[in-house]
């Protein structure tokens, strides 16, 4: 059986920026401490929610390095090192391994829209360049392509490809994936609104946007599911559903960065081409946050 990187809730952490657009490392440290103090089981740094697509390569590596050093082995640090250029993904992955990341999160190569064979070779090439565990990231709504179940099973034969973040949004895909891959590929929900149904099929937790503002609650939801208390887990899932929807009312991470700002952290604004929320959507987000007593 392959190693399990974490069980429970990993936060897909935002990257805080200063007013001039530079990375706010002091605030990143505060956010990491807040997450760990409130039950988060692992940190995903420089992923989609961390605006990896608008970080320079130097910033990308520096953000991972800071997170690894500041976390200091309190929880696993999973570095987002995916790219649509295989060579870039190899370089970032090797740098993350040298820095001391515990695992890698590798999104499918967006825009190129390679074949399934190309996808296999892409991931195999990256996996052979490092020794730390790899989580595949399947999010067709953002990348334009899907890791088919057969391809996932083939990739799971590679020793250090150990998991998938499944953000396909199709529970039938999840069922077929887990049935086909079994213990050779740990599955994590990539959608906060599907944590409970996916865990009921055997997923081990979530890589979560919601955790940015509700880390303890997201951890507790997953803990209930892992303990087999699906009634409690489902009640929590449904209680947070309206906020989850509000966090995705505009492109992630636009709403969640505003939400993090509203709970008292200086996440700053997103980098262009992502921009501030509309007033209408901002008001809706505030309403849902107040309903869950997140604004004091």
Q: Quickly list DSSP for the chain.
A: -PPP--SEEEEE----B-TTSSB-HHHHHHHHHHHHHTT--EEEESSTTTTGGGS-HHHHHHHHHHHHHHHTTSS-EEEE---SSHHHHHHHHHHHHHHT-SEEEEE--TTT---HHHHHHHHHHHHHH--S-EEEEE-HHHHS----HHHHHHHTTSTTEEEEEE-S--HHHHHHHHHHHGGGSEEEES-GGGHHHHHHTT--EEEESGGGT-HHHHHHHHHHHHTT-HHHHHHHHHHTHHHHHHTTSSSTTHHHHHHHHHTT----PPPTTS-PPPHHHHHHHHHHHHHTT---
Choose, from 2, 110, 111, 137, the residue flagged as catalytic.
Answer: 137
Residue 27 lies in a domain: yes
- The pTM (predicted TM-score) of the whole model is 0.96
pLDDT tens track for 160-188:
999 999 999 999 999 999 999 999 999 99
Residue 243 lies in a domain: no
Residue 75 lies in a domain: yes
pLDDT tens track for 125-143:
999 999 999 999 999 999 8
Q: Which residue range is the domain that position 183 belongs to?
A: 8-227
Residue 284 lies in a domain: no
CATH of the domain at 81: 3.20.20.70
Position 296 scores a pLDDT of 72
Domain count for the chain, please give it.
Answer: 1
Residue 269 lies in a domain: no
- 137 given a catalytic annotation: yes
Choose, from 120, 165, 188, 257, the residue flagged as catalytic.
Answer: 165
Residue 248 lies in a domain: no
Residue 29 lies in a domain: yes
- 165 given a catalytic annotation: yes
Residue 259 lies in a domain: no
């Amino acid at each position: 059986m392959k190693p399990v990187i974490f069980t429970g809730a990993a936060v897909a952490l935002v990257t805080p920026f200063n007013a001039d657009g530079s990375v706010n490392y002091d605030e990143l440290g505060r956010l990491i401490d807040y997450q760990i103090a409130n039950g988060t089981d692992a940190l995903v740094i420089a992923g989609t929610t961390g605006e990896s697509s608008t970080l320079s390569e130097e910033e990308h590596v520096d953000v991972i390095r800071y997170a690894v050093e500041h976390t200091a082995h309190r929880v696993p640090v999973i570095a987002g090192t995916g790219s649509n250029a295989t060579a870039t993904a190899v370089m970032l992955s090797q740098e993350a391994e040298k820095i001391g990341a515990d695992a890698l999160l590798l999104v499918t190569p967006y825009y190129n829209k390679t074949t399934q064979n190309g996808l296999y070779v892409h991931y195999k090439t990256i996996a052979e360049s490092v020794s730390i565990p790899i989580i595949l990231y399947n999010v067709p709504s953002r990348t334009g392509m899907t890791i088919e179940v057969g391809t996932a099973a083939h990739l799971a034969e590679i020793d250090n490809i150990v998991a998938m973040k499944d953000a396909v949004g199709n529970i039938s895909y999840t069922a077929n994936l887990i049935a086909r891959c079994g213990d050779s590929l740990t599955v994590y929900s990539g959608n906060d609104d599907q944590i409970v149904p996916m865990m009921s099929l055997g997923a081990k937790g979530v890589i979560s946007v919601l955790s940015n503002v509700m880390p303890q609650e997201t951890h507790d939801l997953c803990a209930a599911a892992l303990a087999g208390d699906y009634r409690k887990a489902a009640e929590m899932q449904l209680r947070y559903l309206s906020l989850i929807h509000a966090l995705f009312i505009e492109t992630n991470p636009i709403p969640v960065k505003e939400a993090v700002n509203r709970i008292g952290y200086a996440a700053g604004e997103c980098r262009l081409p992502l921009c501030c929320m509309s007033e209408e959507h901002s008001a809706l987000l505030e309403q849902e946050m107040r309903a869950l007593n997140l604004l004091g």
